[in-house]
Amino acid sequence: MGAPDRVGQIRTDLAVFLRNLAKVDSFWFITNLKADHPFSLRNRLGLTLLDYHGLLIAANLADLDTNGVLKIKPKQWIAFFDESDFVKDGLGVETTKTKFDLRAFTADTKSNNNQRLTYHVIRVGVKHSTSPDKISDQKDEKGKLHLPPQVPLLRSMQRSLVRNSRRTIMDTIIDNEKLYDSLFDNNEQTEQASPNPKEQSTKERGTDSRPSKRQKSSPQLSMAQQSLFEDDDMQPLRDYLGKDFDPTDPATIAKIDKVFAACVSLKREGNVIKYKDKRSHEISLLHIPRSSTDRSFHEKKQWFDDAMELNSATKNGDGNPEDSGRRLVNHLCIYQLDAVKDVLNKRGIPLCKPMNTTQFASLVQSCGLNGAQTAQLTKHLRDHLGKGFCPTRSSIEKLCEGHGEIYVDSVQHNYDKEGGGKEETVHYSAVDVDKEVSIQLARQLQRRKISPKDVKGAHHLVGGDHGGDAMQFG
């Protein structure tokens, strides 16, 4: 397949995927992000890092610089969207560049100007009035990152993309010297592709593409692994298993498993397997046992300590496992926050729940605090309980000045009455709806200089918005 045909074909395959992605709510994706974050386009496509680079280079949407770093072509992305008729067909897409501190963004900490990097981002999906206008707005008021919207049949879409573009990506990897060299990169060995379709040997299936019900499908190798098996460096493996071995043949895979199991037994030290690659770089593999209960995890927890030690190790052989543990906890706080809170509660570690605007405004009004007193209270609470404990002063004033009195109360409620759940205390804040409507109506009449006697009638629309933990009246 020639270069122009290759570009056109791979762009068509990518356009089909993005068209299906554009049918759900809008979301910003980073195209040149190496890490496997939820807002990475590579993560959404379900590709390994190597295959993703091969796809973008084959589509002429990116290239590799002299250091092997992916370099996006913004003008080609614009041309790709135009020729694919996304805008013409009413599908929401756009592309731009942005510069921000990604580490501070994901950890919800203060941005460091020295850590700000330039990222190429694309927006795909239906845009609403509440949709973020930029990627840095894809988090809620508490700093929790937004996750990409659910897409029906996403796994099927990913498998279809891999199936249609496999040959083109393999050809691109072989033709591109930098991509071909990265086949042996240690980092790529640890990154497994998201779901790829399982196939059987063509010899055993004949012309039927559907696997036999009795015959178990063989494990699917990534595109990079398939090209690796065809490389001359795999000659010792071909000599052992036979020159005509098929890497997708279940019998061949079974032989490889036996050889690999023997190698593991020879090189294993506890939970860690160490060996040297063709470049004499030391590689460490870790055995992770399955744990279905807390007790079984506690009995087999040594692998966890080994993982932190390996992750913190440097080329000199030293390192601080506590740094690795801190990074791991930070990752869990971002993506498994509910689990972290549950563990802290079970271990009796105090966990402060931030006050929402309605609750804090009720506190201010109940105590009869003026502006200066409210500022002092806020300063001390933030100093002891964290910066995110109190809402902003402007949001508090919106509920305190020119609004009805807010009061708090509690009620006993059982969320799982049919399942035999226990009652728990639910605290809530409320405002007198009639008084609030009267106050707001008087404000509107005064602003427009309308006398109440000239008003023949008024229609009131009452509603609410579940923002954060509070139902806001409006």
pLDDT digits over 243-272, tens only?
656 666 677 778 888 888 888 888 888 888
- pLDDT band per the 50, 70, 90 thresholds, residue 143: confident
Task: Give the DSSP letter of residue 348.
Answer: T
- pLDDT band per the 50, 70, 90 thresholds, residue 435: confident
Asked if residues 59 and 45 have their Cβ atoms less than 8 Å apart, the reply is no
What is the arrangement of strands in the sheet containing 93-100, beginning at the earlier edge strand? Answer: 27-30, 117-124, 93-100
Lowest mean per-residue pLDDT among 41-50, 58-67, 139-148, 313-322: 313-322
171 has a pLDDT exceeding 80: yes
- pLDDT band per the 50, 70, 90 thresholds, residue 56: very high
197 has a pLDDT exceeding 50: no
Measured between alpha carbons, how far is 293 from 76 in angstroms, rounded to an integer? 51
190 has a pLDDT exceeding 70: no
Phi, psi values for residue 17, rounded to 5°: -65, -45
Mean pLDDT of 62-76: 88
Mean pLDDT of 204-212: 40
Mean pLDDT of 450-455: 84
**Looking at residue 29, what is its pLDDT?**
92
**Looking at residue 422, what is its pLDDT?**
79
Query: Residue 269: beta bridge partners?
Result: 272
Mind spelling out the 3-state secondary structure of 51-86?
A: HHHHHHHHCCCEEECCCCCEEECHHHHHHHHHHCCC
| Mean pLDDT score of the chain | 76
Asked if residues 6 and 58 have their Cβ atoms less than 8 Å apart, the reply is yes
Closest CA to 171 of 2, 337, 48, 299: 2
- pLDDT band per the 50, 70, 90 thresholds, residue 72: very high
Instruction: Mark out the alpha helices in 139-231 (DSSP H runs).
Output: 154-175, 177-181, 186-190, 202-205, 223-229
**Looking at residue 184, what is its pLDDT?**
52
210 has a pLDDT exceeding 50: no
Mean pLDDT of 29-38: 84
158 has a pLDDT exceeding 80: yes
**Looking at residue 465, what is its pLDDT?**
63
100 has a pLDDT exceeding 70: yes
Q: Return the structure tokens found at 214.
A: 């009795």
How many Cβ atoms from other residues are within 10 Å of residue 449's Cβ?
6
Measured between alpha carbons, how far is 443 from 8 in angstroms, rounded to an integer? 61
Asked if residues 77 and 41 have their Cβ atoms less than 8 Å apart, the reply is no
Lowest mean per-residue pLDDT among 84-88, 145-149, 389-393, 463-467: 463-467
Question: How many residues does the structure list for the chain?
Answer: 474
pTM equals 0.42
Q: Return the structure tokens found at 418.
A: 């049919």
Of residues 289 and 232, the one with the higher pLDDT is 289
SS3 216: coil
Asked if residues 441 and 462 have their Cβ atoms less than 8 Å apart, the reply is no
Measured between alpha carbons, how far is 85 from 68 in angstroms, rounded to an integer? 32
**Looking at residue 61, what is its pLDDT?**
92
Q: Return the structure tokens found at 6.
A: 């290759």
